[in-house]
């Protein structure tokens, strides 16, 4: 009985420890500020500066949590028969990006990324606030953003084949995406937008209809009271787009103020 009680106490203390602000802060600190795409772009920029090449291949990339450093294995094509191998290190702690020509030691090219680190930290802080104090009615926000994009696509390309949208909305509690609820999907389908749960997406076309995965991120509050929200579509390696919209919320609900394309493939 005493052993059982001690184990219960120990289990409670352990659970409290893992839920403590210190542990959560340590866990957050081990997550990278940058993503693989940013680290790869920096590596290619440095390799291009060192060689004058515009052709690169990345054979490996990983993040070292202890040193807070991205390590990228990159080859730059110098001519048809020659490629030079480099190791790029993008360090979030020192705010320095360094390109090493192995096995030599030292940087053959480097870049101060202090501003990028500062901006990334601000975005992380803003995202944490967005999770802690989420914007209202994320279901309707997702629906409004999808309607906006569908209308824009139809106006720009009336001959485009009809698409089926597999829709995901942000979830502050799970720190990820969840399916848009059935009632919102039904509203979209009522207005001739073929909408389905995001988790059911599979790549390909059916009966001439393209399957598009559509995802909306967490809205982040702006100083003017509106929100920035990222969203994207994906229907294949060369069929994708990433956007940022400015959205506003009032008594009538959400509306899109403006939207810009960040990237397309």
DSSP bridge pairs for 98 = 89, 110
pLDDT at 124: 87
Spatial CA neighbour of 145 closest among 225, 219, 238? 219
Question: Is the CB of residue 113 less than 8 Å from the CB of residue 213?
Answer: no
Tokens of 105: 């030691």
pLDDT at 103: 81
| pLDDT tens per residue, range 54-98 | 999 999 999 999 999 999 999 999 888 889 999 999 999 999 999
Tokens of 9: 């106490």
pLDDT at 156: 59
Q: Model-level pTM? A: 0.65
* 52 vs 76: CA distance, rounded Å: 9
Domain ranges of the chain: 36-132, 138-264
Top CATH class of 138-264 equals: alpha beta
| pLDDT tens per residue, range 135-166 | 999 999 999 999 999 988 766 565 566 789 99
Q: Is the pLDDT confidence value at 169 over 80? A: yes
| pLDDT tens per residue, range 88-110 | 999 999 999 999 998 877 999 99
Question: Is the CB of residue 34 less than 8 Å from the CB of residue 92?
Answer: yes
């Amino acid at each position: 009985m005493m052993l059982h009680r001690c184990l219960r106490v120990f289990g409670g203390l352990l659970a409290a420890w893992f839920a403590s602000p210190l542990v959560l802060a340590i866990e957050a600190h081990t997550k990278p500020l940058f993503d693989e795409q940013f680290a790869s772009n920096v590596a290619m920029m440095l390799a291009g500066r060192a060689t004058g090449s515009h052709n690169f291949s990345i054979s490996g990339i990983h993040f070292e949590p202890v040193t807070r450093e991205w390590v990228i294995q990159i080859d730059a094509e110098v001519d048809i028969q020659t490629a030079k191998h480099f190791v790029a290190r993008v360090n979030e702690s020192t705010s320095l990006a360094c390109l090493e020509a192995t096995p030599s030691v030292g940087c053959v090219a480097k870049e101060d990324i202090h501003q990028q680190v500062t901006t990334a930290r601000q975005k992380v802080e803003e995202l944490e606030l967005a999770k802690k104090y989420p914007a209202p009615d994320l279901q309707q926000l997702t629906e409004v953003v999808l309607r906006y994009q569908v209308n824009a696509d139809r106006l720009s390309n009336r001959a485009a084949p009809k698409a089926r949208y597999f829709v995901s909305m942000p979830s502050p509690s799970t720190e990820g995406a969840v399916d848009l609820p059935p009632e919102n999907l039904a509203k979209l389908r009522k207005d001739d937008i073929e909408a389905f749960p995001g988790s059911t997406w599979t790549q390909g076309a059916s009966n001439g209809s393209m399957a598009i995965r559509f995802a909306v991120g967490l809205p982040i509050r702006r100083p003017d009271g509106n929100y920035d929200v990222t969203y994207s579509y994906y229907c294949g390696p060369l069929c994708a787009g990433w956007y940022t919209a400015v959205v506003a919320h009032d008594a009538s609900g959400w509306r899109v103020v403006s939207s810009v394309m960040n990237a397309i493939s």
